[in-house]
Amino acid sequence: MKNPWEIPKACPECGKALKSNLGKYGPFLGCIGYPECKFIFNISNYTRIKCPECGNILVVRKAKKYNFFFLGCSNYPKCKFLLNTKKYEVKCPECGSNLAIRDSRYGKFIGCMNYPVCKYKLDIRSTKLGNLLKLEITTNEKYIYQKPKQIERIEIKNSSQDLKDIKEKLKLYNIDLQDAHEICRIAVENGYTTDIRILIIVSLYLLTKIKGIYVGLKKFAKVSGIPSKVLYKKYKLLYRDILPLLNYQIKRLSINDYINQFSNDLDLSEEIKQLSYKTIKLAQNEGFYSSGKDPKGIAAAAIYISSKAVRNRINQHMIATIADITEVTLRTRVKELNNFLSLNLLREK
């Protein structure tokens, strides 16, 4: 009987190579002969960790009786090694609580059981998981198709001018384009077969996140000429698979960072900017809870309220476009902030 967990080295239907993709329900391997050949193989449950007993890849499995996830050998039933993160008490490196395997639309991940107080998480295919569990990592995934290196060098060279144009138009002066080339090179070495031009531009978008420079997804897509859905999908792939291999981390922007950015983009006065900071502080003092909400929407709402207070009201459509949110979201956040600001006024009276 063939092992259902064994990863195919080539497409079993047509014999062509396989490449990694990200679908609606997580990562999978697809035949490079698509759409003629539609073979796919789901790898959302596969880690990059070797089984300490037989050397095969560990996979995420679900216990039927107790309804929880655990790591087991892909060579089961010949090898019966398993690792339950709850039972072995794998600790969160940020808060010390236990970690557990969870599920999402992008595949399985390791999450802290102290959520939402601690939001630590790690993708199940991240190489950092091996270090966390103190197990050996497999680095040779031969099933991923790779382009000839000569073609890659030519395509990267031809994409350099595109990067320079995008950098100038978006005023990304703090970004070194060599870093984008380096991310692209590592992605290609790890089996990414996307059009090199798209890959290198997405690498630039990833760098804006790393450097903490806010550029709206729609704005970046418009300037680069890549559809926003394609840009976001490829960004998630790089974030999931390539970022853990680099010495970079995504810089999370705070509400005040967004206020500063939007104020500069809208060319607002210092008075409105300072009043926006004060608006957020007053609302938080009254119990406004921003966790789980997009900070862009809250920052945009604070600016809108502040501009209205100094009788320099900004058009809702304009600020929603700059913040890359809908006008409905803007009005909702304005209403929420106003409720807490009203409480503050009542206390002062």
Residue ranges per domain, the chain? 47-133, 149-245, 255-348
Report the CATH fold assignment for 149-245.
Cyclin A; domain 1 (1.10.472)
Low-confidence ranges of the chain (pLDDT < 50): 1, 140-152, 154, 346-349
**Res 143: pLDDT:** 40
Q: Which pLDDT does position 238 carry in this prediction?
A: 85
255-348 fold: Cyclin A; domain 1 (1.10.472)
- According to DSSP, the β-strands at 121-123 and 99-104 are unpaired
Domains 149-245 and 255-348 share a fold: yes
Put simply, whether the predicted model's pTM sits higher than 0.75 gets the answer no
Q: Measured between alpha carbons, how far is residue 263 from residues 18, 211, 222, 290, 303 in Å?
A: 47, 19, 22, 20, 8
Provide the b/e sequence for 45-66 (b: ≥16 CB within 10 Å). Answer: bbbbbbbeeeebbbbbbeeeee
Instruction: List Cβ<8 Å contacts ≥24 apart for 324-327.
Output: 324/216, 324/217, 324/218, 324/219, 324/296, 325/294, 325/296, 325/297, 325/300
Nearest to 177 by CA among 208, 146, 151: 208
Query: What span, in angstroms and rounded, lies between the C-alpha atoms of 337 and 328?
Result: 14
User: What is the per-residue pLDDT for 302?
Assistant: 92
pLDDT at 311: 82
